[in-house]
Amino acid sequence: MTEIFGGYLPMILKGMVLTIEVALLSLALSLFLGMLAASARLYGGPIARSIAGIYTTVIRGIPDLVLMMLIFFGGQVVVNKIGDKFGWGYIDIDPFVAGVITIGFIFGAYMGETFRGAIMAVSKGEIEAGHAYGMTNWQVFLHITFPSMVRHALPGFMNNWLVLVKTTALVSVIGLEDMVYSAKVAGDSLRQPFTFYVLVGTLFLLITAVSDLAMRWLERRYSIGESR
């Protein structure tokens, strides 16, 4: 195998690990921001509600790469200004951190909309029944709202995840040595750009296919109570 790709396969696979790391970390951030945005829009006061509304609308209206550049280059300017004041000298913004923050920030907006829809779809009667049985608010959330919300949110969540994985390819543009970046280096040095980009495309398909399997399992797990 290694001879086929001119000894560059380990480098590509290392890039793939980085791609998956970026994807999972930004997923975690996006879930947190999404929950925050959804709760703000559903239960927050007027200020929290409008901030969350602006966040979800504006982020979804601007291309991801523009936001990434803004956070990467803009963050650099801000860090340098702060650094100057405290005499820290020059600090480089890590493209890994910038990538994770941007992607997490963008998909937080999409997750927020998914969660909002899912929470609104939880039946009121079930929540009232929980309270009638003397459950505390926390018990109602844990045993009724949450499992039912997960069921409603799963298709949207999965869709967001698949788009997120593909978006991680953009971190190569700000210089992170992910799968796409490794393919460029390998392809350029062997003069086989086609081979390596197709290889990386195939690896992305592999991630998608594995995600699909995981999704089927989750769907089965969370639709146990669903009558069909």
Partner 1 sequence: MDFSIIIDNLPLLFKGLFLTLQLLLISLAIGFVMAIPLSIMAASKNPWLRLPVKAYIYVFRGTPLLIQVFIIYYGLSQFEWLRDSPLWNIFKSAYWCAVIAFALNTAAYTAEIFRGAILQTPKGELEAAEACGMSRWDQYLHIILPSALRRSIPMYGNEVIFMLHATVLAGVITLVDLFGAAKIINSRYYAPFESFISAGLFYLAITFTIVFIFKLAERHFLKHLKR
Give residues in contact with partner 1 (CB under 8 A). Answer: 58, 60-67, 69-70, 72-74, 76-77, 162, 166-170, 172-173, 180, 183-184, 187, 191-195, 197-198, 200-201, 204-205, 208-209
Nearer to partner 1, 39 or 76 (CB): 76
Nearer to partner 1, 91 or 205 (CB): 205
Helix axes 95-121, 146-167, angle to 10 degrees: 150
In whole angstroms, the minimum distance from the beta carbon of 71 to partner 1 comes to 9
Nearer to partner 1, 81 or 228 (CB): 81
- The set of residues, in sequence order, having a beta carbon less than 8 Å from that of 135 and lying 6+ positions away, is 143, 144
In whole angstroms, the minimum distance from the beta carbon of 195 to partner 1 comes to 7
Rounded to an integer, what distance in angstroms lies between the CA atom of residue 110 and that of residue 56?
7
In whole angstroms, the minimum distance from the beta carbon of 84 to partner 1 comes to 15
Matching residue, tokens 């998956």:
20
Q: Which of 57, 74, 222 is nearest to 155 (CA)?
A: 222
In whole angstroms, the minimum distance from the beta carbon of 137 to partner 1 comes to 35
Rounded to an integer, what distance in angstroms lies between the CA atom of residue 44 and that of residue 14?
43
